[in-house]
Amino acid sequence: MNNQRLLGIGLAGTTIAALCCFTPLLVVLLGAVGLSAWLGWLDYVLLPALVLFVIVTLVAVLRRGRS
């Protein structure tokens, strides 16, 4: 995979996961469409996703530094 693409995916995923974890963005959106019952399960999905995307970003930055 291209290093620029990997960095872009990592940064975009990290930004989206961080916005959804640390702001009430998903609470408002899911409550507005009537899916507020899913809110209890969001931490089980969003926190690992945030960690995964941070790792992808770090790998891309480290690969970029070596090139």
The domain spans of the chain are 3-66
Q: Report pLDDT for 12.
A: 94
Q: Report pLDDT for 67.
A: 66
Q: Report pLDDT for 27.
A: 80
Q: Report pLDDT for 17.
A: 86
Q: Report pLDDT for 56.
A: 94
Distance CA 30, CA 11 (A): 24
Cα torsion angle, 47, 53, 55, 58, sign:
negative
* Rounded CA Rg of the chain: 15
Ranges of the chain with pLDDT below 50: none
